[in-house]
Structure 1
Amino acid sequence: MSATLATLYRAIRRLHVMDVTCLLHTSPDHQAVTAVQPGIHLALGGLIARAIDLEELETLRRDDRINPVVGTGIARTAASSEHGPGDQWLYGIWQDDRVISFIWVATGYIPASENFSRSAHLGSSLNMPPHCGFLFNAWTDPEHRGRGLMASLLRALIHDDALDLNLQDWFATTDWTNAASQSTFQKCGFQRVGRLYRIGRGRMQASVVPDLERRMKETVRLGSDRQKPCIAVDAPGLRWSV
């Protein structure tokens, strides 16, 4: 990505008429092989990584012990074997009584309102098959960035299956210009499988999404028995797969 294009995109994005994100994919086996930087040793750093349930999240918000960008999803402590719509978990790293890094995990249907870069009306919904998980709304306290915290979370969730989800494929999206986030995911075994373009306002919108049927076979070689996730199928306006 050139600096000129990135600057132009950021300027257009402020008008809330364009949202471009990168779609990333990995699997536990691939992640285990390529994650050369597992992150810091949490125990030695005096840190704890664990799931946060809904009641605890409400308390953390009330007491200002978690960043407000945490989002508004429903935290669950267990999921059905079908991994249905609405199954979401919050997984975070604690230092003392504060959460200094976290990421949301979801299965089933992820609404567009929870998967966007800067403009909620330009978000992209995802309909994930039962064997797929989705990671979103990742955040690390600025004072603790560069310590490998997000890499530790990704490794715990995907390679160690900290939530006992037994998933075969994992997806995530990052803003097109967020090179730091993309680098972290790629160091943990994620590969880019395309970009999601959402343009417009109201009913006058257009979506360009990766053709996962083709790209997944070419880049990831998924077995024919695995379903492919559906992207932005309920977005208004026109939609193309490329």
Structure 2
Amino acid sequence: MLSRKILRLPYRLLQRVVPFEAARLLVLDSNTVRSSPEVGGYTIRVLSTSEASEYAASGQLLFSEELIPRLIEHRMWCVGAESEAGLCAFAWFYEGLAEKGMNVGYHPATATEIQLSSNAAFVFNVYTAPDSRGQGLMPAMLSYAALELYRTRDVGWLVTTTEVTNDAALAGFRKSGFHEQGVYLRFGIGAHSWGWYPKLREPVEGFVQPRAGADWRTKVGNERANKGR
């Protein structure tokens, strides 16, 4: 923990100079999830399009305006934790793919698509309201989603990423049963970008590498993804 705090300053300074990011790739095997923890006073469930729209209109479903219309897609899910006060936490899931826009970190230029097997879902846009933090809602939501997606969609894996300096998110995912599958780096100078990616393992099937300062994508083949570049 101390070493990460010491390295955080030069890491952030580097990000101010060039597009650079180091992210942990985290994976949850749904077969290891036996039950969803109960959190008193909260109900956890999948939100419909109309419910999500109402929560967004009231300002409770944050950062989700562009996602709500896509709930009609059979691959897009939103799970929420509700109390008498309303929506207190939520998480979004997309089956088979982490689209570039779903995997954006400190620098939009380093947003990277991750291709997943058809029986995996990417977890993104996870949020808990400040007043509801520290009560175990994140593990409860992710466990619920893992069980529900497995039961209804035969999704056996959940995949997510988090920046290496985001200790709070890492702790939450680990409490939910996620384990680290590797760390990948994305960086660029001008119109050129490079990436180093961990060896491909189920359910991750490939990465699509961004180009810094431009809107184009170069698919990283298995050989390059395995060896790094």
Report the TM-score, using the length of structure 1 for normalisation: 0.77
1:98 maps to 86
Q: Does residue 1:121 correspond to 2:115, yes or no?
A: no
| Preserved CA contact (<8 Å) 2:194 2:209 | no
| Preserved CA contact (<8 Å) 1:151 1:188 | yes
Letter in 1 for 2:122: F
2:5 maps to 3
2:49 maps to 54
Residues 188 and 133 (structure 1), Cα distance of their counterparts in 2 relative to 1, 3 Å cut: same
Residues 128 and 202 (structure 1), Cα distance of their counterparts in 2 relative to 1, 3 Å cut: farther
Shift of 1:52: 2.1
1:187 maps to 175
Shift of 1:54: 3.1
Shift of 1:15: 4.8
1:231 to 187, 207, 227: 207
Letter in 2 for 1:24: L
Tell me the distance in 2 between the aligned counterparts of 1:124 and 1:107. Answer: 16
| Preserved CA contact (<8 Å) 2:209 2:218 | no
The ranges of structure 1 where at least 4 consecutive aligned residues each deviate by more than 4 angstroms after the TM superposition are: 233-240
Tell me the distance in 1 between the aligned counterparts of 2:152 and 2:96. Answer: 16
Structure with a larger share of its residues in helix: 2
Shift of 1:163: 7.0
Tell me the distance in 2 between the aligned counterparts of 1:4 and 1:156. Answer: 36
1:156 maps to 144
Letter in 2 for 1:12: L
Can you list the C-alpha shifts for 1:60-108, whole angstroms capped at 9, x where unaligned? 22222323x34632542672xxxxxxx2111111123532111111113
Identity, in percent, stands at 19
- Match of 1:173, SS state, is strand
Shift of 1:177: 0.8
Tell me the distance in 2 between the aligned counterparts of 1:111 and 1:78. Answer: 14
Query: Once structures 1 and 2 are overlaid, which stretch shifts more, 232-241 or 203-212?
Result: 232-241
Can you list the C-alpha shifts for 1:146-167, whole angstroms capped at 9, x where unaligned? 1000010011011354872221
- Consecutive unaligned residues of structure 2, counting only runs of 5 or more, are 212-216
| Preserved CA contact (<8 Å) 1:206 1:237 | no
Letter in 2 for 1:66: L
2:31 to 13, 29, 32: 29
Letter in 2 for 1:61: A
Shift of 1:20: 1.8
2:193 to 202, 205, 216: 205
- Match of 2:71, SS state, is coil
Say how many residue pairs are matched: 215
Residues 93 and 124 (structure 1), Cα distance of their counterparts in 2 relative to 1, 3 Å cut: same
Report the TM-score, using the length of structure 2 for normalisation: 0.81
| Preserved CA contact (<8 Å) 2:20 2:187 | yes
- Match of 1:2, SS state, is helix
Q: Does residue 1:170 correspond to 2:129, yes or no?
A: no
- Match of 1:60, SS state, is helix
| Preserved CA contact (<8 Å) 1:102 1:140 | yes
Tell me the distance in 2 between the aligned counterparts of 1:177 and 1:52. Answer: 31
- Match of 1:174, SS state, is strand
| Preserved CA contact (<8 Å) 2:187 2:195 | yes
2:214 maps to none
2:60 maps to 65
